[in-house]
Structure 1
Amino acid sequence: MPVVYMRRAKARDIDAIVEILQTAKGYLKEQGIDQWQADYPNSDTIQEDLDKHQAFVLMSDDQVAGYAAAFEGEDPLYTALEEGSWLKDGHDYASLHRVAISDKFRGQRLTPRFITALVSYFYAQGARDFRIDTHPGNLPMQGVIAKNGFEKRGTVHMQEADHISTARWAYQLLINDDEN
């Protein structure tokens, strides 16, 4: 059985990350989902994530099996929530973005493990409020998000390219540990 763990992404991971995102784009296109069908995300996006120390990879033994960007603090994408409201307002939350698993590992249920690892990492840093979004047509990701305890809170709009602005369903997970 392979060892599966999460770590911060490194510059040497960029090629593997770009490949993961390219195959994810192809998978979404096959499903008829227009998410990520422009030039976003790309190697510049990944480099920016690395520069901001918000790039994470899921490892399976010595192979990069997944990628996500995550950070704490205000996320401009989540400031204009429509058709709903956040359970808790404020700017003190962790955002999870660009979650993707390599097609070489598809079907191994690694996406829920990756989200759990990200939540656990940021929980250990003090985060108790988590936000994530996905395309309304991305039913597999919606299922993963819901199974990880996130609740749909409304709609946000993402700018994927200069000419593409698309609605995304926004989700929130609050961890209340006041009982301790």
Structure 2
Amino acid sequence: MNSEIKLRKAEIEDRDIIWNILQQAIERRRQDGSTQWQQGYPNLDTVESDIAKGFGYVMTVDGEIAVYTALILNDEPAYSTIEGEWLSNGEFVVVHRVAVDEKFAGQGMVKKLFDHIEEFTKSNGIQSVKVDTNFDNIAMLKILEGKGYTYCGEVFLAGGMRKAFEKIII
């Protein structure tokens, strides 16, 4: 059965669902023994700020929110300083705060999300996608590798060093 999967901007009405999904993700990271997202970020203010700024996106499966992410155009101050080198200096989409509802866990949702993000990037005429993750976020590291993202070096973000990746889209 083919589900209808869509990426759309998050609305303020989505806030509580998004926050619930993020809380599940924060707890999963904690259970995995990760330090990522364990210092009170992201929080409900982060979600409200994302939505207000137009950064918040949800991927829906048959209308139900399965994944939350923040997509930010050309603006991640932490990325201006990298221990290493980005592939490009053009316009880029930054992917932050990827979280999957546990109802949809293990279904390849993040891979599908990146397909949609790459489509969004291409349709907006933007050159590349940049993303960072924790050293210990093995699931995300595997996905980025599988999707053809290039490891570019390290950036300092949210109080720690993160692995940074880029993929040229156009």
What TM-score comes out, normalization by structure 2 length? 0.95
- In the TM superposition, residue 149 of structure 1 has moved relative to its aligned partner by 1.6
Structure 2 counterpart SS, 1:67 = strand
Runs (4 or more) in structure 1 with deviation over 6 Å come to none
Equivalent runs, 1:1-180 vs 2, <5 Å: 1=1, 2-82=3-83, 84-90=84-90, 92-159=91-158, 165-176=159-170
Shift of 1:175: 2.4
Q: Deviations over 1:138-158 (max 9, x none)?
A: 010011111122111001111
Cα-to-partner distance string for 1:15-49 (whole Å, 9 max, x where unaligned): 11101110001111111111000111111111111
**Amino acid of the residue matched to residue 40 of structure 2?**
D
Where structure 2 has 5 or more consecutive residues not aligned to the other structure, the ranges are none
Q: Tell me, yes or no, if the aligned pair for 2:78 and 2:155 is still in contact at 8 Å.
A: yes
- Given residue 33 of structure 1, which amino acid in structure 2 is its aligned partner? S
CA contact (8 A) 2:118 2:169 kept: no
Distance 1:61 1:152 in 2: 34
Whether the 8 Å CA contact 2:153–2:165 is kept in 1: the answer is yes
Q: Distance in 1 between matches of 2:4 and 2:93?
A: 26
Q: Percent identity?
A: 31
SS of match in other structure, 1:50:
helix
Secondary structure of the structure 2 residue equivalent to 1:131: strand
> What code does the residue aligned with 1:19 have?
N
Any idea what the Cα deviations from partners look like across 1:160-180, whole Å, max 9, x if unmatched? xxxxx111100000124xxxx
Q: Which amino acid aligns with 1:173?
A: K
Is the partner of 2:48 in helix, strand or coil? Answer: helix
Q: Distance in 2 between matches of 1:74 and 1:39?
A: 23
